[in-house]
Structure 1
Amino acid sequence: MQDFKTQVVEAVLALTDQRLDEAGTALRLAEEAAKDDTKSSAGDKYETTREMMQQQIDNNRKLLFEAGRQRAFLLQLPLAATATVSNGSLVRTSLGWFFISISAGQVAAGGIPVTAISQAAPLGRLLMSQIPGKSVTFNGRTFLIEEIL
């Protein structure tokens, strides 16, 4: 099962790498567009356009920074199984698999869907420190913890 956990980590890393690439490309394109923009005769229009371009550049920088931070966090997660749910745990519940790491949504590993959630997410908070055999209820659904990898 450790191979399955490695596949999950690799799938989440691949998603994070994709986010890094997309944010980097968007940032590069926004910066190039800002350089190519020439001042028009309509001064207010020009200033508004420049401000919008700068906001787009700032947003892309934030996305790039966040994706890099998430990637670094993933690389530092312990892969060893633990007795209780913690950061880096792969948790099999009665309602599916959850990887406690970053909020990345659903990935597939070995054809099995796994939802990557943060410990700060509502369900993540409920799962933290739980052990197999315990259950948590979230949004009217009960998640029985069956296994922790």
Structure 2
Amino acid sequence: MELHTMKLKVHEVCLALIQSRIDGLNNELRGFQAAANEESKSSAGDKYETGRAMMHLEKEKVASQLNQVLKQQKVLRELHPERKSEKVELGSLLSTDQGLFYISISLGLIQTPEKVFCISPVAPLGAAFLGKKRGDLVSFNGKSYKIGEVT
């Protein structure tokens, strides 16, 4: 598959993964709300209050995770995957002798049918790739990455 076509597919998969995470976190939040609505104060007193406080903390943790994932979704939606570039920048897909990298958000390894590492431009390796072009060599953590095609 041509690299630019693959970039469009990788972007679609990233959006779908993020949407799936958003849906899952929203379901968890709805579950917390349903549990809170069904709860009635028991005679246990302190036990009830402790359980309620723990549930509130979990709900806050999930809400925070949702906020982070929504920020990732915003970054993805602001990218223009149809745009081509000669130098590595936010939104670039690049091939290296160590694999494929999509400079976007930190999702780790995804399968699209090729394995692609989705990394943030602020991650150390992502930052090392920025501004590089075909044929450049990037060294990171004792490993060398020879850049092939960039799109």
TM-score range (shorter-chain normalised) is over 0.9
Q: Provide the C-alpha distance between the structure 2 equivalents of 1:41 and 1:48, rounded to a whole number of angstroms.
A: 13
Select 1:28's aligned residue among 2, 5, 30: 30
Which letter maps to 1:69?
K
RMSD (Å), alpha carbons: 1.3
Unpaired runs of at least 5, structure 2: none
Q: Provide the C-alpha distance between the structure 2 equivalents of 1:59 and 1:37, rounded to a whole number of angstroms.
A: 20
| Matching of residue 81 in structure 1 with residue 77 in structure 2 | no
Q: Provide the C-alpha distance between the structure 2 equivalents of 1:102 and 1:140, rounded to a whole number of angstroms.
A: 23
Q: Provide the C-alpha distance between the structure 1 equivalents of 2:117 and 2:50, rounded to a whole number of angstroms.
A: 41
TM-score of the two chains, using structure 1 as the length reference: 0.93
My pick for the range that moved more, 51-60 or 112-121, is: 51-60
Q: Provide the C-alpha distance between the structure 1 equivalents of 2:33 and 2:59, rounded to a whole number of angstroms.
A: 7
| Matching of residue 92 in structure 1 with residue 100 in structure 2 | no
Which letter maps to 2:46?
D
1:1-149 aligned within 5 A:
1=2, 2-79=4-81, 80-109=83-112, 111-149=113-151
Identity, % of aligned positions? 37
Deviation at 1:41, TM superposition (A): 2.1
Deviation at 1:34, TM superposition (A): 1.8
Deviation at 1:59, TM superposition (A): 1.5
User: What per-residue deviation string (whole Å, max 9, x for no partner) do you get for residues 76-96 of structure 1?
Assistant: 112212121110000111100
Deviation at 1:40, TM superposition (A): 2.1
Which letter maps to 2:30?
R
Deviation at 1:101, TM superposition (A): 0.4
